[in-house]
Amino acid sequence: MTRTHAHVYLAFGSNLGDRRENIAEGLAMLHESGQVKVTEVSSLYETEPVGYTQQGLFLNAVARVETDLSPLDLLSLCKDVEVRVGRKPTVRWGPRILDIDILMYFAESDDTLLSGLGNSGEDGTEVKMDTPTLTLPHPRIWERGFVIIPLAEVNPDLVIPDGRRIKSLIQDLQVWTGLRLFEAAPWWHYADQNRKGWQVTRFTEVESTNTIAANLASVGATEGTCVIAETQSAGRGRRGRVWHSPPGGLWLSILLRPTIQSQDVGRLSLIAGVAVSSAIRETFQLPAVVKWPNDVLISGKKVCGILPETRFLGDKMDFAIVGIGVNVAIDTDLLPLDVKETSATLLSPDYPYASGAREALTASILNNFSRLYKQFLSEGFLEILQEVREYCDTLGREVTVSRLGMPIQGIAVDIDSDARLIIRTKSGEDVHVISGEVSIGVPGAG
């Protein structure tokens, strides 16, 4: 059988229960099926019901997805997701709370079994079909604003069944009647199973997100409480340094309540470094690496710093806070000269989509971090050490680390199961360093 890689436009609607959550969950279930990749999601629009009007207002959105499923298999997955979202205990006997419609299906393959191939375009060849269960393209809804407007956001050049480009239709005010923007894109970011129940609290300005997360912890906040601020007036760096936190950066703290020992904290910050590096690679295709123990660099310049802080009650850990600062789109001229020289920003501060990019990066960091953290708790650090090694650019380099004021020089050969850096000195001795400031190279050399 031919593999049918397809680009598909799906419409989502909900008018019962937590409508935003229903659509978000439907998208997540599709994505988590592993058979559908959600590549773009429109804003959410609130619309008045059409036809039977004695019901609540709808929320609608459109998504573009990629899949190898045939149209009919995709339809049955969508129906299954509708049912699973609708099976929430609050709406036991209630009507459906989520509708997912396939609007258009474009196949990249030349599988003639798909039959009735229509227009070809950037998305592939449009599939047309008419069966008792599925008609493609969707037969009825092309005059409705709640489909046209979100679809035009996702792909303005799409040609709809009557031959017009979708972007030309939204010029007409008529299309906007009975509809309002409920929440602008990007509102949906894939949150994987590992961080189900994690909550993000956002502030405009705080002294330090680590302090707010610690305060929340003291009043009973649970694991996975995340604090994000637009700016920090007294951001903290390691070794008592100031962490400059102008607008445009990601200033994030994650509250954790693991039953671990104090020496495990080094492991947590390495895990965070890997999570951030892989998120930067995924989101921006930039070659981010971890500099042991706590930094993320691109081309030798620091783009992220990590500050783990803990509180113990006796010998038992009450909580740990992992503070993560990423220069996403900051004005580096606002940094002091010495910091500016060694730092970089991922995007220029006037990049027009910076806030969307920051949201996507945040989601990716939290997904990666929660996955690694869960694996660390269930299987131990050794299981993720290989992944850590792959991201850690310090390994194999000539380094100098200051320990108790004494410089240790040698080649960083490995990281041990306690997250310590192993430095092989000239005399052939392996020194395991728990923490410290690493300089790459030998001081005074070249």
Q: Stretches 6-14, 88-96, 208-216, 437-445: which one binds ligand BTN (CB under 6 A)?
A: 208-216
Instruction: State the burial class of residue 240 (Cβ atoms within 10 Å of its Cβ: 0-12, 13-18, 19+).
Output: exposed
Closest CA to 161 of 174, 148, 176: 148
| Phi, psi for 47 (deg, rounded to 5) | -135, 150
242: β partners: 236
Is 305 an interacting residue with respect to ligand BTN (CB under 6 A)? yes
Query: Between residues 14 and 343, which has the closer beta carbon with respect to ligand BTN?
Result: 343
Count the Cβ atoms, other than its own, within 10 Å of residue 414. 17
Residue nearest to ligand BTN (CB): 305
Which stretch in 83-91, 138-146, 204-212, 215-223 sits in contact with ligand BTN by CB under 6 A? 204-212
Of 31 and 236, nearer to ligand BTN (C-beta) is 236
Tokens 């979202």 belong to 85
Burial 155-189 (b: 16+ CB within 10 A, else e): beebebbeeeebeebbeeeebeeebeebeebbbbb
Interatomic CA distance for residues 43 and 41, integer angstroms? 7
If the CB atoms of residues 105 and 373 are measured against ligand BTN, the closer one turns out to be 373
User: Measured from the CB of residue 85, what is the shortest distance to ligand BTN in angstroms?
Assistant: 34
The angle, 0 to 180 degrees and rounded to 10, between the axes of the packed helices 19-32 and 71-86 is 130
Catalytic positions are 87, 96, 99, 101
Residue 13 or 325: the one with the smaller Cβ distance to ligand BTN is 325
Looking at the DSSP bridge assignments, the partners of residue 399 are 410, 440
- Shortest Å, Cβ 241 to ligand BTN: 6
Stretch that binds ligand BTN, among 75-83, 217-225, 303-311, 386-394 (CB under 6 A): 303-311
Verify cis geometry, omega within 30 degrees of 0, for the bond prior to 308.
Answer: no
- Choosing from 293, 323, 349, 436, the residue that interacts with ligand BTN (CB under 6 A) is 323
Binding mask 215-254 for ligand BTN (x = CB under 6 A): -----------------x--xxxx--x-x-x-----xxx-
Q: Are 45 and 13 in contact (CB under 8 A)?
A: no
User: Does position 208 bind ligand BTN by CB under 6 A?
Assistant: yes
Using CB under 6 A as the binding rule, the residues of this chain from 364 to 423 that contact ligand BTN are none
- Which CB atom, from 23 or from 265, has the smaller least distance to ligand BTN? 265
Closer residue to ligand BTN, CB minimum distance, 342 or 348: 342
Query: Which tokens go with 159?
Result: 């040609």
Least distance in angstroms from the C-beta of 331 to ligand BTN = 17
What residue ranges bind ligand BTN (CB under 6 A)? 208-210, 232, 235-238, 241, 243, 245, 251-253, 294-295, 305-307, 323-325
